Amino acid sequence: MTIKEAQALVDEWINTTGVRYFDELTNMAILTEEVGEVARIMARKYGEQSFKDSDRQKDLADEMADVLWVLICLANQTGVDLTEALKKNMEKKSIRDKDRHKKNEKLGKKGAGG
């Protein structure tokens, strides 16, 4: 599925099953909540926090999909073509960061102090 197809699919679902989009500020709050759920799983699975019983059933892929879903909703609501936005963002990064990361000593081999 392309990003454009995902935007169309979400829009179709919202307008048929979901009735309408939540307003932009509500979706921004939901996005923040969903990112927090991803952070919670990451901190427990890859970080130093331990799992609570209520956290064990959470699925990282599903939570990431929730983040993507709400981000797509916000893009649709605000008229952002995410395909074009990502292309422009990659161009910007490719120019701005052409040599930046290669010269960053902190990005040396993992386990060697980095």
Which pLDDT value is given to residue 98?
A: 80
**CATH 1.10.287.1080 region(s) of the chain?**
3-80
Tell me the pLDDT of the chain averaged across its residues.
Answer: 91
**Which CATH fold would you assign to the domain 3-80?**
Helix Hairpins (1.10.287)
Return the structure tokens found at 2: 């392309």
Asked whether the predicted pLDDT for residue 112 surpasses 50, the reply is no
Read off the pTM: 0.84
Tell me the C-alpha distance between 86 and 93, whole Å: 10
SS3 41: helix
DSSP label at 48?
S
Distances (CA, A) of 95 to 6, 58, 92, 112: 28, 38, 5, 29
Asked whether the predicted pLDDT for residue 33 surpasses 80, the reply is yes
